[in-house]
């Protein structure tokens, strides 16, 4: 027990965990699991939840938690030593889970549980766990003959290794690039805080001038504000060619990995008796077929395209008339868009950012959650992996119900993007209720030194929405009342419904009642003026047509690559994306753009043939939020505890214990409609249709 990865009594011992702990801990836990599995494989006089499911959950949960810690650390504090330990153990972990999913003896025992007379007397959550597990056995190859099981296992191991390599290549390519600018006159247009951060980054490495990287808080302000077009182009090109054949190092090129992953996924689908991987991916989702998803996306594209064409025409006209740019290029889009936003709505993203210091934003976020769900969020203490990490607890009526870590700032060695992940899930143990714990991770700008003082981090309004989004995922995980591990929190929730709580939370960032309580100018301390908020509101759907088409483009590319693309044919994945862009996009990136090579969601995450989930769930979340709007129109408070209690009762607390559509209907009283999504995005609904 001296190995900190083997501590399951409390919170992870992040201050004590070292790379050298990984391999022995994983070896110990794998041996424990294999011993338990061997006992459960043996004939049993009677198979019950307590003598079969519980011991299996007990051992596999410990393995999952330990490996989850390792995976989390590799994402937030990557080092060569940790990466080596992680990669050394991926094959062992993958082999175990694959063998478990193909274990015929366990499969038969789950079937026996499902067919037993006592099945109907089990709780709905336990019945759901058994049904999901049987489905997962089938998708894991349990019904394959032995020779095909062996090949299936090889595919799982290779896929896991390739996905990890894909992610590592992006991180390495991102960390490798830097642009050093000595002459401040070349950086005209950039805000003061961005210049301060760039100078601090250079000084931290004993360099002069200003250092810019491809980490988002450094990269994107250059694209938005730098008057120097050549610098914008250099940054754009570096970002657009990361981990591709045009990148810095051939060993970081993800092109071959993409092709191999698609080949392996197609082979996996054929082994399972499906014609393509998309149909495998959709088995546990709400959507019933690739055709249904494609029709949904194409319908959104049809509705959004006129607005996108108008957005682009306005952008080109502004660039020509106001900025003298007659050949609008990809590296001009963010810059011209921000200039046009400033002229049209008389405010800038940078101006708004000054009103959102981290302490006020967190207080405002917590106020929304505490009011809606009648909980308390309090500072807490725990070992952490970096000094910037914060830790909190959630209580209800003075009783602990969950805890969460917040790691908000970008830094070298940390994967880009924003996400929520579970550190521990709620379940009933012999010691009582095990409360859930979550990781909430973002990549915002860190606090700066100004005039000798450390200022709080400042967030753009988009970053505020990102924080609310991830916190919505966190609430789904932390406020669950389900006691069974397999359907507690976000576990067992259909992937195309899991974004509902997160997207729902974003809406509050557009409500004056919320924003007015979480803003304070970094210099004056004054709250965001209502006049400025009104301008933000007027600009809410600025270029929403372009944004909608962009998401549809990515979603269609993902679906077609896993549905009707032949990875062994002559066409490349880039050809598929180019075809989709020609059909649906109004902005066509340069030919050197290699978006797919950094599309981590589908090649290194859980979104393969599932990226459409963001738009699908947005239909659900917009419709759920429209219930709050209707309540407000009836004279109730927007942050109505009664409405929050209903949402908690019917959606958040039930986790995956019942189908997501049932939970939605239980809350809304009817099936979902696309109307609210179109209205919130400023796209006029032509007809009402359910998804």
What digits encode the pLDDT tens for the residues 223-277? 999 999 999 999 999 999 999 999 999 999 999 999 999 999 999 999 999 999 9
For residues 638 and 515, what is the distance between their CA atoms, to the nearest angstrom?
Answer: 13
Q: What's the mean per-residue pLDDT of the chain?
A: 96
At 217 the pLDDT is 95
User: Domain 252-347+543-611, what fold?
Assistant: 1.10.1370
pLDDT tens figures, 615-666 = 999 999 999 999 999 999 999 999 999 999 999 999 999 999 999 999 999 9
686 pLDDT more than 80: no
DSSP 357: B
Residue 45, burial from CB neighbour count under 10 angstroms (0-12, 13-18, 19+): exposed
pLDDT at residue 1, as a whole number: 57
Rounded Cα distance between 19 and 17, Å, is 7
What is the mean predicted confidence (pLDDT) over 180-206? 96
How many degrees, rounded to 5, is the angle at CA 189 between CA 185 and CA 195?
A: 70
| Residue 482 and residue 434 in contact, taking contact as beta carbons nearer than 8 Å | no
Q: Which among 316, 513, 491 has a CA at the least distance from the CA of 421?
A: 491
Above 50 in pLDDT, residue 284?
A: yes
How do residues 105-141 score in pLDDT, each as one tens digit? 999 999 999 999 999 999 999 999 999 999 999 999 9
Query: How far is it, in rounded angstroms, from Cα 2 to Cα 281?
Result: 41
pLDDT of residue 687: 34
Fold equal for 4-101+103-139 and 252-347+543-611: no
Residue 657 CB-density burial (10 A; 0-12 exposed, 13-18 middle, 19+ buried) = buried
Residue 262 CB burial class (10 angstroms; 0-12, 13-18, ≥19): buried
Selection from 554, 544, 564 nearest residue 622 by Cα: 544
Dist CA 401 CA 395 (whole Å): 5
pLDDT of residue 685: 42
How far apart (Å, rounded) are the C-alpha atoms in residues 86 and 160?
12
Q: Is 682 helix (H, G, I), strand (E, B) or coil?
A: coil
Can you tell me the distance from the alpha carbon of 511 to that of 465, in angstroms, rounded to the nearest whole number?
12
Structure tokens at 332: 């001009």
Q: What is the C-alpha separation between 302 and 285, in angstroms, rounded? A: 24
Q: Are 476 and 655 in contact (CB under 8 A)?
A: yes
* Distance between CA atoms of residues 458 and 362, nearest Å: 12
Q: Could you tell me if 627 and 643 are in contact, meaning their C-beta atoms sit under 8 angstroms apart?
A: yes
Quick check: 567 pLDDT over 80?
Answer: yes
b/e map of 479-514 (b: 16 or more CB within 10 Å)? bbbbbbbbbbbbbbbbbbbbbbbbbbbbbbbebeeb
Q: 3-class DSSP state for residue 34?
A: helix
Of 428, 405, 424, 438, the C-alpha closest to 481 is 428
**Cβ pair 475, 501 in contact under 8 A:** yes
Contact between residue 52 and residue 383 where contact means Cβ atoms under 8 Å apart: no
pLDDT of residue 691: 35
- Identify any residues that bridge with 432 across adjacent strands, giving them in sequence order: 429
Q: How many helices (H) and strands (E) does the chain have?
A: 26, 11
Contact 140, 99 (CB under 8 A): no
What is the C-alpha end-to-end distance of the chain, expressed in Å?
51
Contacts of 273 (CB under 8 A, 6+ apart): none
pTM: 0.95
Can you name the residues that pair with 438 across neighbouring β-strands?
A: 404, 422
CA dihedral (353, 357, 358, 362) positive or negative: negative
In this prediction, residues 605-612 reach a mean pLDDT of 96
Close Cβ partners of 396 (under 8 Å, ≥ 6 residues apart): 374, 375, 376
CA torsion through residues 375, 378, 382, 386, sign: positive
Q: Which of 279, 463, 470, 506 is catalytic?
A: 470
Element (H, E) at 381: none
Place of tokens 């659900």: 620
pLDDT at residue 275 in the model: 98
What is the pLDDT at residue 452?
Answer: 80
Give the CATH class of 4-101+103-139: mainly alpha
Burial 190-218 (b: 16+ CB within 10 A, else e): bbebbeebbbebbeeeeeebbbbbbbbbb
CA nearest 74: which of 89, 90, 86, 62? 86
Overall average pLDDT of the 384-391 stretch: 98
Token reading at 304: 């959004």
Band (684; pLDDT cuts 50, 70, 90): low
Question: What pLDDT, in 10s, does the model give residues 469-509?
Answer: 999 999 999 999 999 999 999 999 999 999 999 999 999 99
Q: Residue range 335-349: average pLDDT?
A: 96
Q: How confident is the model at residue 688 (pLDDT cuts 50, 70, 90)?
A: very low
Say yes or no to pLDDT of 363 above 90: yes
Which residues, in sequence order, are CB contacts of 597 under 8 Å at separation 6+? Answer: 170, 241, 242, 243, 244, 247, 253, 254, 255, 258
The domain spans of the chain are 4-101+103-139, 177-241, 252-347+543-611
> For 235-245, how does the pLDDT look when each residue is reduced to its tens digit (9 = 90+)?
999 999 999 99
Distance (Å, whole) CA 644 – CA 653? 11
DSSP 430-490: TTEEEPPEEEEEEEEPPP-EETTEEPPPB--HHHHHHHHHHHHHHHHHHS-----GGGSTT
pLDDT tens-digit series, residues 5-56: 999 999 999 999 999 999 999 999 999 999 999 999 999 999 999 999 999 9
Q: pLDDT confidence of 422, banded at 50, 70, 90?
A: very high
Q: State the pLDDT confidence band at 558, using cuts at 50, 70 and 90.
A: very high
Q: What is the mean pLDDT of residues 286-314?
A: 97
Indicate if 108 belongs to the active site: no
Cα–Cα distance for residue pair 225/237, rounded to 1 Å: 17
The token duo for 383 is 């070992």
Phi/psi of residue 466, each to 5°?
Answer: -60, -40
Cβ atoms of residues 402 and 436 within 8 Å: yes
Distance of CA 19 to the CA centre of its chain: 26
117: burial class by Cβ within 10 Å (0-12, 13-18, 19+)? exposed
The alpha-carbon radius of gyration of the chain (Å, integer) is 25
Supply the pLDDT for residue 320: 98
**Residue 576 and residue 556: Cα distance in Å, rounded?**
10
pLDDT of residue 244: 98
Collapse the DSSP code of 75 into the 3-class scheme (helix H, G, I; strand E, B; otherwise coil) and give the result.
helix
């Amino acid at each position: 027990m001296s190995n900190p990865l083997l501590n399951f009594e409390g919170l992870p011992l992040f201050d004590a965990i070292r790379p050298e702990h990984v391999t022995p801990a994983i070896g110990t836990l794998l041996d424990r699991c294999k011993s338990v599995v061997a006992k459960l494989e043996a004939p049993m006089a009677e198979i019950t939840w307590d003598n079969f499911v519980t011991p299996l959950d007990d051992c596999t949960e410990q393995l999952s938690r330990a490996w989850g810690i390792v995976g989390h650390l590799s994402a937030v504090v990557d080092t060569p030593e940790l990466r080596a330990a992680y990669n050394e153990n991926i094959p062992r972990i993958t082999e175990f889970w694959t063998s478990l999913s193909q274990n015929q003896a366990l499969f038969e025992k789950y079937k026996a549980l499902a067919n037993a007379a006592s099945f109907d007397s089990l709780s709905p959550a336990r019945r759901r766990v058994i049904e999901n597990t049987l489905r997962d056995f089938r998708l894991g190859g349990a019904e394959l003959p032995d020779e095909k099981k062996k090949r299936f296992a090889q595919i799982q191991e290779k896929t896991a290794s390739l996905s990890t390599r894909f992610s590592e290549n992006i991180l390495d390519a991102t960390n490798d690039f830097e642009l050093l600018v000595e002459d401040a006159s070349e950086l005209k247009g950039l805000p003061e805080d961005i210049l301060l951060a760039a100078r601090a980054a250079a000084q931290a490495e004993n360099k002069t001038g200003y250092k810019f990287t491809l980490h988002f808080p450094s990269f994107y302000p250059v694209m938005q504000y730098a008057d120097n077009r050549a610098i914008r182009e250099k940054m754009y090109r570096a970002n657009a060619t990361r981990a591709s054949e045009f990148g810095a190092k051939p060993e970081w090129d993800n092109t071959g990995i993409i092709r191999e992953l698609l080949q392996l996924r197609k082979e996996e689908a054929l082994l399972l008796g499906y014609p393509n991987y998309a149909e495998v991916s959709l088995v546990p989702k709400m959507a019933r077929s690739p055709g249904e998803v494609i029709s949904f996306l194409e319908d959104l594209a049809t509705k959004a395209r006129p607005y996108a064409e108008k957005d682009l025409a306005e952008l080109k006209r502004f660039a020509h008339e106001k900025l003298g740019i007659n050949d609008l290029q990809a590296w001009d889009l963010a810059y011209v868009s921000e200039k046009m936003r400033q002229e049209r709505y008389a405010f800038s993203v940078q101006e708004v950012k000054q009103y959102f210091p981290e302490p006020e934003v967190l207080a405002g976020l917590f106020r929304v959650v505490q009011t809606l769900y009648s909980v308390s969020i309090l500072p807490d203490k725990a070992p952490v992996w970096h000094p910037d990490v914060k830790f909190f607890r959630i209580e209800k009526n003075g009783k602990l119900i969950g805890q969460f870590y917040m790691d908000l700032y970008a830094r070298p060695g940390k994967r880009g993007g924003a996400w929520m992940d579970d550190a521990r899930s709620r379940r009933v143990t012999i010691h009582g209720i095990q409360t859930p714990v979550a990781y909430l991770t973002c990549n915002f700008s860190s606090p700066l030194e100004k005039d000798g003082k450390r200022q709080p981090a400042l967030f753009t309004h988009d970053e505020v929405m990102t924080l609310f989004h991830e916190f919505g995922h966190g609430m789904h995980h932390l406020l669950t009342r389900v006691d069974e591990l397999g359907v507690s929190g976000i576990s067992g929730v259909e992937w195309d419904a899991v974004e509902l709580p997160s997207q729902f939370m974003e809406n509050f960032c557009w409500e004056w009642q919320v924003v007015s309580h979480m803003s304070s100018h970094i210099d004056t301390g004054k709250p965001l003026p209502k006049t400025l908020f009104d301008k933000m509101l007027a600009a809410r759907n600025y270029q929403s047509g372009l944004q909608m088409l962009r998401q549809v483009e990515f979603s269609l590319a993902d679906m077609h690559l896993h549905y009707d693309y032949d990875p062994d044919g002559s066409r490349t994945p880039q050809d598929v994306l180019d075809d989709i862009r020609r059909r649906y996009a109004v902005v066509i990136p340069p030919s050197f753009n290699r978006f797919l090579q950094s599309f981590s969601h589908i090649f290194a995450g859980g979104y393969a043939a599932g990226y459409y989930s963001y738009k699908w769930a947005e239909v659900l979340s917009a419709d759920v939020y429209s219930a709050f709007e209707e309540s407000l129109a009836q004279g109730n408070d927007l942050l109505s505890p009664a409405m929050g209690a209903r949402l908690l009762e019917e959606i958040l607390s039930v986790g995956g214990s019942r189908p997501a559509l049932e939970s939605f209907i239980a809350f809304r009283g009817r099936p979902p409609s696309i109307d609210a999504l179109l209205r919130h995005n400023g796209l006029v609904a032509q007809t009402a249709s359910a998804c």
